Structure 1
Amino acid sequence: MSQGSNFVDYVKICCRSGKGGAGSAHLHRDKHTATGGPDGGDGGRGGHIILKGSTHIWTLLHLKYRKHVIAENGDNGGSGQKTGKNGKDEILEVPLGTIAKDAETGIALFEITKDGETKILTPGGRGGLGNWHFKTPTLQTPRFAQPGEEGREEWMVLELKVLADVGLVGFPNAGKSTLLSVVSAAKPEIADYAFTTLVPNLGIVSYRDNRSFVMADIPGIIEGASKGKGLGLRFLRHIERNSVLLFLIPSDTSRTIREEYAILLNELEQYNPELMHKPRVLAVSKADLLDEELTEEIKKDMPDVPYVFISSVAQKNILELKDMLWKAING
């Protein structure tokens, strides 16, 4: 199974939380007391459906075939003011960057961004109050209690936005996967045709003094991606999360570097203008194909952004690129 089929960034699940247990309407009785007061306990709460962030999961694949998530009901209250047991919660582990949305309205409810963080997706019903709560000076022996609250049944959408320090932005076939395979231990599928990368590949990039950062190779943007063309919007959303954008443009492009950069930038701006505030670094790849004269010629017409000429194959200026990225991440 390739990484492509393992990476799932969207699932729709039906969540059914537990019903709350009923309160008890018991009246106290023992060998000394024939007609005691109310001592019915409260019902237990129904089980919640909870999302929990985990750094060990990169994908929503484990939830793809789990269409229904059902939490336990709470137990009824007992005599002696004994509270019923709460229904068992259903805890779903999700990768960091998971956003929970109401499937009907599309409204985002919350997002999981930290390891171990938990949030209630669908709350269980409250347990009913036992009859001892309803005792008053005028009503000494209430013979009623509250029923438990019903659980909820609702469809939810979980969407993943990859959390990475650096997002690689470039046209298909710009050499992004190759660069990622050189700077990290990631093994993306690399081939010489457009759209090899159909899912975001993540790699841990080791840096000086045992430091590291996460780089995501996001599938190539083509002109019109912001309008949903090509692989479009689904992948642009992964860029929203990265703190630094690394534009990768090959030296053998048919357009000028400046033109190519402007098109990529325009796609991002059309999709989400806030992306324009992120720090940017430009790497001109396949620099091993250029002689000194040609390199100087290209430098005369570069966009106003920190840039470096690199070659993934020849390992040229890779450390300089890492230095620039580290500075941008921690800038």
Structure 2
Amino acid sequence: MKFVDEAYIDIAAGDGGNGCVSFRHEKYKEFGGPNGGDGGRGGHVYAVADPNLNTLVDYRYSRRHEAKRGEHGMGSDMFGAAGDDITLKMPVGTIISDAETGEVLYELLTPGELITIAKGGDGGFGNMRFKSAINRAPRQKTPGWPGERKNLKLELKVLADVGLLGMPNAGKSTFIAAVSNARPKIADYPFTTLHPNLGVVRVGPEQSFVVADIPGLIEGASEGAGLGHQFLRHLQRTRLLLHIVDLAPFDDAVDPVAQAKAIVGELKKYDADLYDKPRWLVLNKLDMVPADERAAKVKDFVKRFKWKGPVFEISALTREGCEPLIKAIYQHVHGQQQAEQVHVEVDPRFAGDAPA
């Protein structure tokens, strides 16, 4: 399935039905009085977060979505039926904003969450509504109110705890395949990953976290080189970034330190908040470095990169060093989840001891 993380749609809730002007016409009732009913409500437009979806591709090719209008009122005190509602299924993590102003209107962050994105118009009043002691035969009615119409922008930001960052061919896809249930394409050439991949890492019973792998960045991405910055948005909701570095590139002329600095520079250009997220350094492909040279190579890299944060040495291919990294990630993510929990504050007026 084609991965699409941005789409524009036009939605229109249903208009309300018109009210009716009608009078009773029954035998032996000379003045039956008004009996025109109200019009029905127009259909609403809902959006629901569907955990089975992971792309907005359906809305790339189907842009217009309209709910049914309400039926008109009828005689004999009959109200018009409400128009049918429509429900748009969207992936969890979808941001719905106004296409013209850019204002964020809604965010679908919980599976099964249902929101109303356009309300149907109310039905108009029939002439029975205008009956009074001085107006026994009203001929007034009102038309139905129009339903809401909106031009919306849909933007998908995947929900993941950990994001993988690095150059093409740094081993990100190999890592996510080694530690999770994800099965991305893996090959010995750059840009094998063309869209984000999500994987669930199981640490223990009821202990897991989600990892997001995005296409690799290269220097000059901010100017459109490579796949550019189009997928970096999917790292904005993560709690931790893993900067994966190829410590043994095929080309001896390639300097891993220069590549790592280029990645950090592109990250800073894109989003300062993303740059300030907790970030760990993961030195990959140690299986390609002779055992007696590993310590010196790692020390030299950290010194020249001027890195002062956590450093992990792994081989995603052989899974060497992956288990300690997974446990450390879970402890960090779990700690942040607990810190982010909402604590209910007691109103100071009721903070005293309960009466005996």
Q: What's the TM-score once normalised by structure 1's chain length?
A: 0.89
Cα distance, 1:177 vs structure 2:
0.7
Cα distance, 1:296 vs structure 2:
4.1
Aligned counterpart, 1:309: 313
Report sequence identity in percent: 41
Given residue 140 of structure 2, which amino acid in structure 1 is its aligned partner? F
Confirm or deny: 8 A CA contact 1:50 1:118 kept in the other structure.
yes
Q: 31-40 or 56-65: which moved more? A: 31-40
Confirm or deny: 8 A CA contact 1:240 1:275 kept in the other structure.
yes
Please give the alpha-carbon distance, in whole angstroms, between the structure 1 residues aligned to 2:280 and 2:24. Answer: 75
> In structure 1, which of residues 162, 165, 178 is the aligned counterpart of residue 161 of structure 2?
165
Aligned counterpart, 2:342: none
Aligned counterpart, 1:114: 110
Please give the alpha-carbon distance, in whole angstroms, between the structure 1 residues aligned to 2:50 and 2:136. Answer: 52
Cα deviation 1:213-260 (Å, max 9, x = unaligned): 211101111223234443123111111122221111111253354x54
Cα deviation 1:258-316 (Å, max 9, x = unaligned): x5444323322221111134222221110122324432442352612212101011110
Given residue 240 of structure 1, which amino acid in structure 2 is its aligned partner? Q
Cα distance, 1:11 vs structure 2:
2.4
Q: 211-220 or 38-47: which moved more? A: 38-47
Please give the alpha-carbon distance, in whole angstroms, between the structure 1 residues aligned to 2:4 and 2:128. Answer: 51
Cα distance, 1:28 vs structure 2:
4.4
Cα distance, 1:126 vs structure 2:
2.2
Partner SS, residue 121 of structure 1: strand
Confirm or deny: 8 A CA contact 1:26 1:39 kept in the other structure.
yes
- What are the ranges of 5 or more consecutive residues in structure 2 without an aligned counterpart? 336-356
Given residue 255 of structure 1, which amino acid in structure 2 is its aligned partner? D
Please give the alpha-carbon distance, in whole angstroms, between the structure 1 residues aligned to 2:87 and 2:279. Answer: 38
CA RMSD in angstroms comes to 2.3
Given residue 278 of structure 1, which amino acid in structure 2 is its aligned partner? K
Question: Counterparts in 2 of 1:117-196, with a 5 A limit?
Answer: 117-196=113-192
Aligned structure 1 segments of 4 or more residues deviating by more than 4 angstroms:
28-32
Q: Does residue 1:9 correspond to 2:5, yes or no?
A: yes
Given residue 201 of structure 2, which amino acid in structure 1 is its aligned partner? V
Confirm or deny: 8 A CA contact 1:174 1:250 kept in the other structure.
yes
Q: Does residue 1:223 correspond to 2:219, yes or no?
A: yes
Question: Counterparts in 2 of 1:71-82, with a 5 A limit?
Answer: 71-82=67-78
CA pair 288-17 structure 1, distance change in 2 beyond 3 A: same
CA pair 32-305 structure 1, distance change in 2 beyond 3 A: farther
Aligned residue pairs total 326
Aligned counterpart, 1:199: 195
Q: What's the TM-score once normalised by structure 2's chain length?
A: 0.83
Confirm or deny: 8 A CA contact 1:23 1:76 kept in the other structure.
yes
Please give the alpha-carbon distance, in whole angstroms, between the structure 2 residues aligned to 1:53 and 1:246. Answer: 28
Cα distance, 1:47 vs structure 2:
1.4
Please give the alpha-carbon distance, in whole angstroms, between the structure 2 residues aligned to 1:138 and 1:156. Answer: 49
> In structure 2, which of residues 329, 333, 337 is the aligned counterpart of residue 325 of structure 1?
329
Q: Does residue 1:94 correspond to 2:90, yes or no?
A: yes
Given residue 121 of structure 1, which amino acid in structure 2 is its aligned partner? I
CA pair 122-320 structure 1, distance change in 2 beyond 3 A: same
Please give the alpha-carbon distance, in whole angstroms, between the structure 2 residues aligned to 1:136 and 1:282. Answer: 79
Cα deviation 1:154-198 (Å, max 9, x = unaligned): 443322111111111111111111111111121111122221111
- What are the ranges of 5 or more consecutive residues in structure 1 without an aligned counterpart? none
Please identify the structure whose Cα radius of gyration is greater.
Answer: 2
Q: Does residue 1:85 correspond to 2:81, yes or no?
A: yes
Given residue 280 of structure 2, which amino acid in structure 1 is its aligned partner? V
CA pair 133-261 structure 1, distance change in 2 beyond 3 A: farther
